[in-house]
């Protein structure tokens, strides 16, 4: 049996050995990460890419000038500083790795090996940058429209899609996620995004967060957008006669597909059964206006290919990714335009289920019938009958 003095000495030696192991583990950095400044993808490629506008755009999904503007908008929100032990990751590199993650949909492990940054650090950086993109740019890139903005949007829809009194096209999409562990029956394997766009393919409103367990038919009625509409918080313009008529005055509406219920504020197609010519014309005209939201989602998914695979991150991180991509979509759309091919076909989103209602208000039915009458009278297009 050890003497008390010997036991104390052994205990001290064991503690010192444990501290030494912990100290060595804390200070040691893997060679892959320690070579970031020499061999990291950012330091090898970034300045070379800036010499070729086309390749830069292909890599980061935006022009050099747009990247610089984004960097200047966010750079002062980062507070990391160099220390005696290591250099911090600068704002420009944080933004670059985030854009690459969103643009390609590659895994954090792939970025870890190419950018020479630890996986947990990458996750923290990307979520932080996504948050900053939303917080610092949402008011300029997706402001809530004023009454004057709504009027301009309606004029543009009439000009581009020949649908009068239209404030936007609405659609909802399922974004695939990896179902959270121990989530029980609360989630399916998708997150729901409801969005509205204008005729310039820019989002004007987005509602993120509906769970896969929620009934698709109630998502819009439960959304923030619907509550703002019904509570009069959107500065929607007063009712106005349809172009070329003196009355009756008609409300300004949003256009949607069969997944949404017909109401005073939302026009949807007639059911595809026993359609008259008038109803077919209405459905065609509404579809021409509604296609803008389909194209907008297409541009979003084809530019930010993170949506081409299920999101295997936390639900909070998932929402941050979606919000950042929506803002980046508007940011790039206004500055760099878009490629038409991006609107033709896309992956990553699934439509929400069709909504059937047996309790449609008579007022909404009457309003839709007035629009249908208008499209075959004062608002008629001579070529529309060849498209139905």
> Is 241 a residue whose pLDDT tops 50?
yes
Q: How far apart are alpha carbons 91 and 381 in whole angstroms? A: 53
**Separation CA 155–CA 49 (nearest Å):** 41
Q: How far apart are CA 345 and CA 294, in angstroms?
A: 10
Q: What is the pLDDT of residue 189?
A: 72
Where on the phi/psi map is residue 280: left (φ > 0), alpha (ψ -120 to 50), or beta? alpha
SS3 call for 227: helix
* CA distances, 234 to each of 140, 227, 260, 293 (Å): 17, 10, 20, 20
Q: Taking 60 as the threshold, does the pLDDT of residue 212 lie above it? A: no
Give me the mean pLDDT over the 164-186 stretch.
82
For the segment 322-376, what is each residue's pLDDT rounded down to a tens digit? 999 999 999 999 999 877 555 555 566 666 655 445 456 899 999 999 999 999 9
Q: What is the pTM of this model?
A: 0.86
Q: Residue 229's pLDDT band (boundaries 50, 70, 90)?
A: confident
Please tell me which residue, 376 or 272, carries the higher pLDDT value: 376
More confident residue, 345 or 203: 203
Residue spans per domain, the chain: 31-140, 143-387
**Tokens standing for residue 13:** 């030696």
pLDDT value of position 205: 94
Q: What's the mean pLDDT in 163-170?
A: 98
Percentage of residues of the chain with pLDDT beyond 70: 81
pLDDT digits (tens, 9 = 90+) for 2-51: 566 665 666 666 666 666 555 444 546 788 888 888 999 999 999 999 99
CB distance 136 to 73 below 8 Å: yes
Upstream peptide bond of 248 is cis (omega within 30 degrees of 0): yes
Are the C-beta atoms of residues 239 and 252 closer than 8 Å to each other? yes
- Rounded CA-CA distance 148/163 in Å is 18
Query: What tens digit of pLDDT does each residue of 41-94 get?
Result: 999 999 999 999 999 999 999 999 999 999 999 999 988 776 656 678 999 999
Q: What is the DSSP letter of 384?
A: G
* Distances, alpha carbon 340 to alpha carbons 20, 106, 295, 306, 324, in Å: 61, 25, 9, 20, 22
For the stretch 104-140, pLDDT in tens is 999 999 999 999 999 999 999 999 999 999 999 999 9
Tokens at residue 385, please?
């009958």
pLDDT value at 209 more than 80: no
């Amino acid at each position: 049996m050890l003497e008390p003095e010997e036991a104390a000495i052994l205990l001290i030696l064991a503690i010192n050995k444990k501290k030494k192991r912990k100290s060595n583990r804390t200070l040691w950095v893997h060679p892959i990460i320690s070579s970031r400044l020499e061999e990291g993808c950012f330091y090898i490629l970034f300045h070379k890419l800036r010499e070729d506008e086309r390749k830069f755009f292909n890599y980061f999904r935006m022009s050099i000038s747009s990247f610089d503007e984004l960097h200047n908008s966010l750079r002062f929100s980062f507070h990391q500083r160099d220390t005696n032990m290591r250099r911090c990751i600068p704002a420009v590199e944080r933004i670059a790795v985030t854009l690459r993650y969103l643009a390609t949909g590659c895994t954090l492990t792939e970025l870890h090996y190419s950018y020479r940054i630890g996986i947990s650090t990458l996750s923290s950086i990307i979520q932080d940058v996504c948050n900053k993109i939303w917080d610092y740019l949402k008011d300029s890139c997706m402001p809530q429209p004023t009454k004057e903005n709504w009027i301009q949007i309606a004029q543009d829809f009439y000009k581009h899609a020949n649908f009068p009194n239209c404030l936007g096209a609405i659609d909802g999409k399922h974004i695939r996620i990896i179902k959270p562990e121990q989530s029980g029956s609360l989630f399916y394997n998708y997150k729901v995004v409801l969005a509205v766009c204008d005729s310039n393919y820019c989002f004007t409103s987005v509602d993120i967060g509906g769970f896969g367990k929620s009934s698709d038919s109630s998502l819009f009625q439960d959304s923030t957008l619907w509550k703002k509409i019904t509570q009069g918080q959107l500065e929607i313009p007063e009712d106005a006669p349809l172009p070329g008529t003196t009355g009756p005055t008609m409300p300004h509406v949003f256009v949607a597909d069969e997944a949404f219920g017909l109401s005073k504020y939302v026009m949807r197609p007639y059911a595809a059964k026993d359609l008259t010519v008038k109803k077919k014309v209405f459905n065609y005209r509404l579809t021409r206006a509604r296609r803008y939201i389909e194209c907008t989602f297409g541009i979003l998914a084809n530019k930010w290919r993170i949506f081409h695979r299920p999101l295997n991150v936390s639900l909070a991180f998932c929402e941050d990714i979606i919000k950042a991509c929506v803002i980046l979509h508007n940011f790039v759309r206004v500055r760099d335009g878009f490629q038409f091919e991006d609107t033709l076909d896309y992956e990553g989103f699934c439509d929400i289920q069709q909504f059937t209602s047996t309790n449609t208000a008579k007022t909404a039915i009457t309003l839709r019938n007035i629009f249908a009458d208008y499209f075959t009278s004062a608002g008629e297009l001579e070529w529309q009958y060849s498209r139905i």
